[in-house]
Amino acid sequence: MFYFRFLIEARLGSAALILTFLVQCTSRVENPTLPEPLAVPVQTQAPAAPKNAFVVGDQLELFVKEDSTLNGSYLVREGGYIVIPRAGRILVQGMTREEAEPKVREFLKKTQLKEASVIVERTSGAQGVNAGALGGASPQSANRILVYLTGSVPRSGAHQIVAPTARAMGVYEALLITGGLGKFAQLDKVEVFRTDSSGKRKKAVIDLRPIIKGEQDDPPIAEGDIINVPEKVFGF
């Protein structure tokens, strides 16, 4: 009898130890520490473009001998492209007139025409704006950062933002410049996706509420960041 009692007490003691260990392990993972926002250096200087190259805001005048309906003035939009009716987007940013002409010609031959005689000219736009409009820097020499916005924002898509020269631009600042936040934006779970040096895309979740109140610094954005602003989910 004593032997069986000893076995029962031993088993009960082992079960208690296992239960205590499981409780301790569970308490360790209930409140995991979130990783810090990605510390990736901000690219503040865009690659130097050739002199007289097209930049965002320029007006490109197009003449097509074979189809006069394509003739007209086209704005170089955010993202560095022009939009030609029935043809689509053509990237021209950073190109001179001599470089843009053959690219437009080949594009039209692939999408619209068997032959295309193309003339491209710059009429007006960002390069004609005085330097004072950007605080002393001409638009061509201004620092620009390309970011992509999605989710609960008024203007989703690619945005080329003129960045400050003396400091980094923040996530909240970039959202304000590009149109602000949507009516039902979830401020505490804004996601920033960034590609690291190995080519892997990583995610950081940012709470904008203390940033808006001035209680925390606005984390800097980097070239090519994707900023997703989730929309609040309402239960019914």
- For the stretch 24-50, pLDDT in tens is 554 444 443 333 444 444 444 445 556
**Alpha-carbon gap, residue 181 to 65, rounded angstroms:** 45
Residue 165: which of 147, 142, 145 has the closest Cα?
142
Q: What is the pLDDT of residue 7?
A: 47
DSSP for residue 5:
H
Residue 113: which of 73, 59, 71 has the closest Cα?
71
CB-based contact 138:116 (threshold 8 Å): no
The top-level CATH class assigned to 143-229 is alpha beta
**Alpha-carbon gap, residue 110 to 143, rounded angstroms:** 34
| Least confident stretch, 45-49, 87-91, 111-115, 164-168 | 45-49
Strands in the chain per DSSP E: 59-64, 72-75, 81-84, 88-91, 118-124, 144-151, 157-162, 190-195, 201-206, 226-229
Residue 150: which of 182, 124, 197, 116 has the closest Cα?
182
Token representation of residue 21: 């260990």
**Alpha-carbon gap, residue 21 to 8, rounded angstroms:** 20
Residues 6+ apart with CB under 8 A from 42: 145, 163, 168, 169, 220, 221, 222, 223
DSSP 81-132: EEEETTTEEEE-TT--HHHHHHHHHHHHHHHT-SS--EEEEEEESGGGS-GG
Could you give the percent of the chain with pLDDT greater than 90? 14
Boundaries of every domain in the chain = 59-128, 143-229
CATH 3.40.50.2300 for domain 59-128, yes or no, is no
Q: What is the pLDDT of residue 171?
A: 92
Distances (CA, A) of 17 to 7, 13, 20, 22, 208: 15, 6, 5, 9, 45
pLDDT tens column, 139-152: 444 577 888 899 99
Does the CA dihedral 9-15-17-19 come out positive or negative? Answer: negative
Give the residue, 200 or 134, on which the prediction is more confident.
Answer: 200
According to DSSP, the residues that pair with 229 across neighbouring strands are: 151
Give the residue, 185 or 131, on which the prediction is more confident.
Answer: 185
DSSP for residue 38:
P
Residue 74 backbone dihedrals phi, psi, to 5 degrees: -125, 130
